[in-house]
Structure 1
C-alpha cells in the first residue's frame, strides 16, 4: 500500500506539472500571436499609418496590455553597447526575481536565435517566447529586421510550487492514511487470526495425559470450520488414547490373576508325576484363559478403528439361518429358529455372526439342557433386529445397567460356567455400535429369561 500511495502521489505531481507546462505554453503562444497580429495590422494612433519605429510599436502595444501574475511583457531594442534597451509592461515583481532587472539574462534572450526557451536562474525557472520585429519602409516593401523583439516571460516557480505543495500534501495525507490503514489492518488481522492463535496455543498445551482442551467455536466462517475440525481431531485422539490406556489397564488387571496362579503352581510343583501332570493342566488352562482375554481385549481395541466393521449387502434370512446352525453346536438346548426377515441388508456378516454366537454362548451359560433358546430376525421398516432369547433366570435390574461394561458380570449365573472374563457383552455392544446407528438392547423374555437384541438401521 505504501508503494501504491507513493506512486499515486508521484503520478499526481507529474500530471500537475504537465498541466502547468501546457498552461504556460498556451499563454506564451497566445501573447506572441496577439503581438504578431498587431505588427501586421496595427497603426500608429498618432499618424494613422503603419508603424515605422519599432520602439514606438512596442510602446503602443505594451500600453494596451495587462499582464497576468508571474508574467512579464518586454520590448527589447538595440541599445548602447552590448545590452538591449528595455521597454516593459508588467506587474511589479520582486527585484531579485524580475527579468527586466537581469541585464545578462535579457542579453542572452535577445541574442538567441530560438523563438522560445527556458532560462534557469537561481531565482527560479523562466519560460520565454520571442517575436523579432521586422518593419516595411513603405507599402509593398519587404520587411527589414530592426533588431527589436517582443518577449513574453513567465516565472514558472510559483505554479510549480503549487504542484509541489499539492504533492507534499498528498504525501502527508497518504502517510496518515497508511498509518490508519496499518492500525486497522493490524486490528482486523488480529481478530481474524485470534482463533488461529488459540488453535496454536491449544495444540502447544496438549499432552498425552490431557486431551480435554477444546477450542470455542464462534460463527460459521472458515476459521470456525478449522476450529471444529481441530476439535474433531482432538476427540478422535482422546478416544484413541483412552482406548490405549483402557487396554493397558484392562490387560494388566485381568492378566495379573492368571499370571499369579501360574507362578504359584510352578513354584510349588513337586517331582511326583501325578502332581506335575496336574500342575501342567492347571497352568495350561490359565494360559488358555489369558490367551482368550488378550484376544478379546485386542478385539475391543480394534472397535475404535473406522475399519472395525465392513458392511456389505447380505441376505438377512440366510445370515440368521447360518447363525442358528452354528449356535446349535454350543450345547444341548431346545434351539428354535424363530422369525426370519427375508430381505437384503447392509451389514458386516462376520461381526454380526460373532455377536450373535456370543449371545448364544451367554444363553447356554445361563440355561440348563433342555431349556429353550430362540434365535431370529425382524424387519421393522426403518430398522432391523436380530435377537437371541433364552428361558433362563433373566437379568436382575441392578445388573441391567452394567453388564455391557468391560469385566462386569451379572449376579445370576450358574456356577461351573462362570469362567469368562466379562468381555463378551462388551464385544457385542462394540459390534452393534460399529454399525451406523446400531445399538444393543436388553429386553425381558415372555415367560422368564432375557432377550438380547441387535438393533441396526436400514441403510439399503
Structure 2
C-alpha cells in the first residue's frame, strides 16, 4: 500500500506539472498571437495609419493589456549597447524575480534566433516567447538599417510549480496518515482473521499420541472455518487410526495370551510316554492353528480401515449369489436352499462380499445341527440391494443383538452345539458391509425361528 500511495502522489504531481506546462504554453501562444494580429491590423491612434515606430507600437499595445500576476509583457528595442532598451507595463512585480531588471537575460532573449525558450535563473525558471517587429519605414524617412524590436512574453513558473509541489507534499502527508491508519486496521483485522490459524497451531502443538481428543472450534463459513473443519477431520482420522492400532494390540494380546499359555503349559508337562507326547503335539497344533486364525482375522479387521479395503466393480448379483451358495454347501451337512436371486448388475467388491457371506454361512453351520435348513439369497429392492443368510436355529436373544457384531463378543448363550471361535467373524462381516458406500449389516428374525443376517448395500448400481 505504501508503494501504491507513493505512486499515486508521484503521478498526481506529474499530472499537475504537465497541466502547468500546457497552461503556460497556451498563454504564451495566446499572447504572441494577439500581438501578431495587432501588428498586422493595428492603427496608430496618433496618425490614423499603420504603426511605423516599433517603440510606439509596443507602448500602445502594452497599455491595452492586462497580464496575469506571474506574467511579464515586455518590449525590447535596440539600445546604445548590447543591452536592449525595455518597454514594460506599469505594474508591480516582485523585484526578486523581475525579468526587466535582468539585463543579461534580456540580452540573451533579444539576441536569440528562437521564438521561444526556457531560462533557468537562480531566481526561478522563466518560460518566454517573442515576436520580432520589422515595421515598414515611414514615408520620406532616410534609408538605414532596420530598427529591430521584439515583443516578449515571460512567465515565471515558480509559483505554479510550487502549487504542484505543495499538492504533492499534502498528498504525501495524507498518504502517510492513511498508511498508518490502514496498518493499524490491517493489524487488527489480520489478527482476528489469523486467530483461528493460531488456534490450529496451538492445538497441533498440544497434540500427543496419548491425547488426540482436542478439536478446533468452527465459527462462520469462510476459508478459515473450512480449514478448521479440515483439520478436525484430519484429527478424527488420526484418532481412529491410533484407536485401531491400540485395539489391534489389545485384542492380539488378549486373545493370544490364552493359547500361548496353553501351549507352554503342555510343553512343560510333556513326558516321555509316546501316547502322551502325541496328544500334546495334537493339542499344541490345534492351539497354534487357532492362534493363526486369530492373527489373520485381526489383520483383516485392521486392513478394513484402509481406503483400498474395498475394490468395487460391476458384477452380476445373481451369479455372485449362486457362487456363494455352491461354496457354502461344503461347510456342513445342512438343508441348503438357494432362495430368491436378484437378477441385476451391482457395483460392489465380489471377493469381500463372498467372504462375508461365507462367514455368515459358517456362522449358521456353527449354530445349527445337521438337517436344519439354511437359506442363501439376494433381493432387489430398487433403491438398495440385500444379500442374506437365514438359518433355522434357535435365533439370537434380544440382549445379544447389540454385542454380537463387536470383537470377541459371542453373546450370552450358544445357539447350537458347535458354537465357538474367537468372536471375530461377525466383526469382519460388519467391516465388509460398512466398507461399501452406505452399506451395513442387519440381524432379523427368521420366520419359524432362527436368525437372518442381511448385508444391505445402498445405491450400488
In the superposition, the TM-score normalised over structure 2's length comes to 0.86
Give the direction of change, closer, same or farther, for the CA distance of 1:17–1:442 in structure 2 (3 Å limit). closer
Q: Are the counterparts in 2 of residues 72 and 91 from structure 1 also a CA contact under 8 Å? A: no
Aligned pair 1:291/2:311, yes or no? no
Q: Are the counterparts in 2 of residues 67 and 90 from structure 1 also a CA contact under 8 Å? A: no
Task: Please give the secondary structure, in 2, of the residue aligned with 1:210.
Answer: coil
Q: Are the counterparts in 2 of residues 206 and 213 from structure 1 also a CA contact under 8 Å? A: yes
Give the direction of change, closer, same or farther, for the CA distance of 1:67–1:436 in structure 2 (3 Å limit). closer
Task: Please give the secondary structure, in 1, of the residue aligned with 2:378.
Answer: strand
User: Which stretches in structure 2 are left out of the alignment for 5+ residues?
Assistant: none
CA distance in structure 2 between the aligned counterparts of 1:54 and 1:101, rounded to whole angstroms: 21
Q: Give the superposition deviation at 1:254.
A: 0.5
Residue matched to 1:12: 12
Give the direction of change, closer, same or farther, for the CA distance of 1:245–1:73 in structure 2 (3 Å limit). same
Aligned pair 1:392/2:382, yes or no? no
Q: Are the counterparts in 1 of residues 385 and 460 from structure 2 also a CA contact under 8 Å? A: no
Residue matched to 2:364: 363
Deviations 1:32-77 (A, max 9, x none): 3433444444454344455554444433333233322112222334
Q: Give the superposition deviation at 1:247.
A: 1.0
Aligned pair 1:157/2:187, yes or no? no
Residue matched to 1:354: 355
Give the direction of change, closer, same or farther, for the CA distance of 1:402–1:78 in structure 2 (3 Å limit). same
Q: Are the counterparts in 2 of residues 367 and 392 from structure 1 also a CA contact under 8 Å? A: yes
Deviations 1:109-162 (A, max 9, x none): 344444433222222112223344434433498895225443332211112212
Q: Give the superposition deviation at 1:440.
A: 1.9
CA distance in structure 2 between the aligned counterparts of 1:328 and 1:26, rounded to whole angstroms: 109
Q: Give the superposition deviation at 1:409.
A: 1.4
Residue matched to 1:138: 138
Question: Which piece of structure 1 moves more, 168-177 or 217-226?
Answer: 217-226
Residue matched to 1:22: 22
Task: Please give the secondary structure, in 2, of the residue aligned with 1:126.
Answer: strand
Q: Are the counterparts in 1 of residues 366 and 420 from structure 2 also a CA contact under 8 Å? A: no
Q: Are the counterparts in 2 of residues 134 and 144 from structure 1 also a CA contact under 8 Å? A: no
1:267-346, aligned counterparts within 5 Å? 267-333=268-334, 335-337=335-337, 339-346=339-346
Residue matched to 2:96: 96
CA distance in structure 2 between the aligned counterparts of 1:339 and 1:414, rounded to whole angstroms: 23
Give the direction of change, closer, same or farther, for the CA distance of 1:355–1:39 in structure 2 (3 Å limit). closer
Residue matched to 1:64: 64
Q: Give the superposition deviation at 1:339.
A: 2.4
Q: Are the counterparts in 1 of residues 401 and 443 from structure 2 also a CA contact under 8 Å? A: yes
Deviations 1:225-274 (A, max 9, x none): 44444444333333222222211110011001111111222222223323
CA distance in structure 1 between the aligned counterparts of 2:32 and 2:381, rounded to whole angstroms: 107
User: Which stretches in structure 1 are left out of the alignment for 5+ residues?
Assistant: none
1:159-178, aligned counterparts within 5 Å? 159-178=160-179
CA distance in structure 2 between the aligned counterparts of 1:375 and 1:81, rounded to whole angstroms: 132
Question: Which piece of structure 1 moves more, 167-176 or 236-245?
Answer: 167-176
Give the direction of change, closer, same or farther, for the CA distance of 1:410–1:143 in structure 2 (3 Å limit). farther
Question: Which piece of structure 1 moves more, 308-317 or 394-403?
Answer: 308-317
Q: Are the counterparts in 2 of residues 133 and 145 from structure 1 also a CA contact under 8 Å? A: no
Q: Give the superposition deviation at 1:278.
A: 2.3
Q: Are the counterparts in 1 of residues 383 and 458 from structure 2 also a CA contact under 8 Å? A: yes
Give the direction of change, closer, same or farther, for the CA distance of 1:95–1:456 in structure 2 (3 Å limit). closer
Q: Are the counterparts in 2 of residues 321 and 337 from structure 1 also a CA contact under 8 Å? A: no
Deviations 1:251-300 (A, max 9, x none): 01100111111122222222332332222222111111111110111111
Residue matched to 1:444: 445
Residue matched to 1:32: 32
